Structure 1
Amino acid sequence: MIGAIQGATVAGQADGGVGTDATQLSGPEGVVVDPNGNIYVADTVNNRVQLWPLGATQGTTITESGLNGPTGIAYDANLNRLFVADTGNNQVIQYTLSNPVVSAVVAGTNAAVPPNPLNAPTGIFYDAPSDSLIIANRDANNIIQWFLATNTFLVLAGDPAGTTGTALNRLSAPRGVTLDSNRNIIVADTGNHRIILFAFGSPTDGTKTGRIIAGTGAAGNDD
């Protein structure tokens, strides 16, 4: 029955309390779980990344140095790397989860071809076969694929120039992105109130059209 399933708080305060101590979160926008059940949280308003081990009653700060409104978060199980969309700084940071944790900017301000194509990156997805990040580039209204080995990028969907719109080759403030089992790109096209699917690969010049798989393009709560 819809509405009958109850959840359990696994990180933060069950009563919704906010704060900065180890038992609290404030406006978290991203979460990912590693194979051991450890929970990594982009604690957005607190400008930090928190690790909540499985069954823990408080978190441990992975990093809070220099972050500005982190949102999206992704995990690479092969190399034990965490990727965080440092949204306010227009970059993505990689954290190698060694002891100590090693951080590096891997997308954005270190672009091989300036200027920086990232503008408020939010949702991110790590694609292991290509060792790349798929990035919902919110304020540029497009989806970027960033190749980690070569520090280069492609625009997979939306307009490379950042133009917004409602046509099926345009996006408006996309905030989430993932790949399905067929490597189609699934985008939360937030400003257009829809979920849109694009085929992976060419063209990358802004002409690629998607198809709507959820939503109508108008805000609402109908089934």
Structure 2
Amino acid sequence: MRVVAIIPARYASTRFPGKPLVDIAGKSMIRRVYERVSAAAGIQEVWVATDDERIYNHVKSWNGQVMMTAVHHQSGTERCAELAGRLDPAPDIVVNVQGDEPFIQQAHLHALVACFNDQEVMIASLMKRILNPEELMSPHLPKVIVNQQNDALYFSRQPVPYLRDVPQSEWLAHHMYYKHVGIYAFRMHVLQELVRLPATPLEQAEKLEQLRWLEHGYRIRMAVTHAEQFAIDTPEDLQRCLERLDELEANM
């Protein structure tokens, strides 16, 4: 099984322009992600997919594998699909790693790839148990509910399920809630199908791309992870990262 990880990287982020190139203790964010993924067992190749020459030239400067992709892509999934489609030989599994995860845990990557030992798995992603009320109620943190096979039933920015006869302050004591950890892996042919799908009502309502796949009948296998995620979406996140750098690197 040939597994290729692709890191989509844009310069023109709305909340944090130039984010992939910011310095974190002597290394750029994109280089930290690349090196973390490259060290993971079970991943044969790592590529950066970008539409910006500054990112392209930066990755080339330390001999990373990088490819220019089209400027019109609306999502990292589309950018991954373009690059994967140009590889020869084609990968069996494509792992889409966010370019703002400089402390990505290898446990995340191992759990994702292991899902494909089941030949029926088309798409895999991760979930982590929610342990505090702030995460449960945050609309910025998507939640997921699954069936008995751990295939996703629904993703929402609201807490799901709603516990009808339980005070909201007690929900975590009465039900096991999970947040979605936004790393994906796809069988190659499925990834190419997904990027041709039209948008769907639930996706547009929640602004969650993965709902498009569910609405079109694709299954997403959810693996449970206990490893924490630390993404950098804003300059404030970067400052918190620098303040916790020793702790974050120790947990890698």
TM over 0.5: no
Greater share of residues in strand = 1
Greater share of residues in helix = 2
Q: So what's the TM-score if we normalise by structure 2? A: 0.28
Q: Larger relative CO (CA 8 A, sep 6+): 1 or 2? A: 2
